[in-house]
Structure 1
């Protein structure tokens, strides 16, 4: 036990503590970017599936089917080694200078998770009666206005637990970015472990960090559910 604590103390002091903090910041950066992308595209997919245009509905449905049935790691590798090579060399160089590993992994994770967010929103929509949209149309709203002001807000409320759960999954999936060399938390911990040979201590710290953040998101989910719960009369 003493050796374990000594190892932990060593890893929690500079320079290793700074490296861990930097890795956590990169993890947060990937999480924020991919989450923003996933939410925006998820909403767009949901709106497309609500339209009366059969072509748009099929395109959205195919996109969701494609993203949900391919592992996230494959998406990350596909974007970094595949899609990146299709871009002009000038653009490739600029992206790499800005942090290509972070950008490509964020895009891959965001696009993949957008399919899950869309399904969550769709489940929330199914809980609403058709009369909601009809009432909005009766008040003079356009189909887009009825979706934006009436349908989507209620769908978000109803699907918030699932959305938070998938947000936790998205956060954990950021560790897959290490496969393409993104210096996020897991990658940093592995590098520290290779340099210090403190395997158990290093991965114990990583496990604790992921656990604390995941549990915090779960607590946030519970608080949001209570805040947005419709009071019973």
Structure 2
């Protein structure tokens, strides 16, 4: 009796086309979600205050999503830089040598560690206020950026665009500090033998980091990074303190104008739940695909 040969399935790494398809599916799902929210908030059995302000709630949800996406992307890049900067003294990231090189590495590690300590140790609420009211007084170029951003009309529902920019700055730096620690843990989770093998093959420190260490570190860090993005979506509600007309701000405006807090806040909570559910679904799909590709 002969046995059938066992076929092995080779998993290919996650490619650009598959990532683009994933992004397209996520974008289409959020567009469909906004349409469903609009229709749901206009159902006849809902209070008049909700049906009349359905469009405002959808606009607020869109601004919340804009804040989350832009801040998450910037926070990932800054988080990688801060995380690697904090490890500047680590032999994994430094070339053999001494003198000025070690001094620069120590300085970079100290600055990055200090920034992470400050951001993680202060409330996001205070950071938002600082980014909008205090930082422009300290950095004239930043003040000029905020003034220039007010001349833009990229999001019609945000007439004062500088508040959106300040919100992006604060949220990006906040999530970057948490991403930095996640990335640092991922880098430390990569087997040292792999870096030693890469260097024995003649790869430079940068080549070893870029082609061997960082891809594996990001894969190891993905679950925690995903959790940070979901938390960022919810934390974006604090941007209302500087006047960003996101979902929480819209709900508060409807509450104050109608004197009916329960319907307005219940709708805001339901929309936040819908946004986080869709976001979690797609991030879970990406995480699962990355795990399969790494086997």
Q: CA deviation at 1:147?
A: 1.1
TM-score by length of 2: 0.71
Task: Give the stretch that moved more between structures: 187-196 or 212-221.
Answer: 212-221
Q: What is the deviation of 1:75?
A: 0.4
Which deviates further from its counterpart, 19-28 or 85-94? 85-94
- Residues paired across the two proteins, number: 228
Map 1:168-207 onto structure 2 (within 5 A).
168-207=230-269
Contact 1:160-1:225 at 8 Å conserved across structures = yes
Q: Distance in 2 between matches of 1:91 and 1:49?
A: 28
| Aligned-residue offset at 1:174 | 0.8
Separation in 1, partners of 2:57, 2:243:
15
Offset at 1:197?
A: 2.4
Deviates more, 1:50-59 or 1:84-93: 84-93
Aligned counterpart, 1:83: 135
* Contact kept? 2:146, 2:166, Cα under 8 Å: no
Indicate which of 287, 292, 295 corresponds to 1:225: 287
Q: 1:164 to 1:92 in 2, by over 3 A?
A: closer
Instruction: Report the secondary structure of 1:13's partner residue.
Output: helix
Answer yes or no: is 1:135 the counterpart of 2:197.
yes
Structure 1 position 77, deviation (Å): 0.1
Kindly indicate which of the two structures has a greater share of residues assigned to helix. 1
Counterpart of 1:55 in structure 2 is 107
* Aligned match of 2:273: 211
Match of 1:97 in 2: 151
Question: Which string of whole-angstrom CA distances, capped at 9 and with x for unpartnered residues, describes residues 141-168 of structure 1?
Answer: 2111111111111111111110011111
Q: Distance in 1 between matches of 2:292 and 2:185?
A: 18
Q: In 2, distance between residues paired with 1:155 and 1:80?
A: 34
Q: What TM-score results when the alignment is normalised by the length of structure 1?
A: 0.89
Residue 198 of structure 1 and its aligned partner are, at CA, apart by 2.7
Question: What corresponds to 1:73 in structure 2?
Answer: 125
For 2:225 and 2:174, how far apart are their aligned partners in 1?
14
How far 1:95 moved relative to its partner? 2.9
In the alignment, which residue of structure 2 is the partner of 1:8? 46
Instruction: Say whether 1:64 aligns with 2:116.
Output: yes
Structure 1 regions of 5+ residues with no counterpart? none
Contact 2:87 2:184 in 1 (8 A): no
**Are the equivalent residues in 2 in contact too, given 1:121–1:159 (CA < 8 A)?**
yes
CA separation in 2, counterparts of 1:59 and 1:138?
31
User: Considering only CA atoms, is the larger Rg found in Structure 1 or Structure 2?
Assistant: 2
What is the distance in 2 between the residues matched to 1:151 and 1:45? 16
Q: CA deviation at 1:232?
A: 9.7
- What stretches of structure 1 move > 6 A for 4+ residues in a row? none
- In the alignment, structure 2 segments of 5+ residues that lack a partner are 1-42, 90-104, 153-160
- Secondary structure at the residue paired with 1:229? helix
What does the per-residue CA deviation read over 1:107-138, in whole Å, with 9 as the maximum and x for residues that have no partner?
01101110100111111122211112112212
Question: Structure 1 residues 126 and 226 mapped into 2: Cα distance closer, same or farther (>3 Å)?
Answer: same
**Following the alignment from structure 1 to structure 2, what is the Cα–Cα distance between the partners of residues 155 and 43?**
10
1:91 Cα offset (Å): 4.6
Deviation at 1:7, TM superposition (A): 7.1
Matched with 1:27 is 64
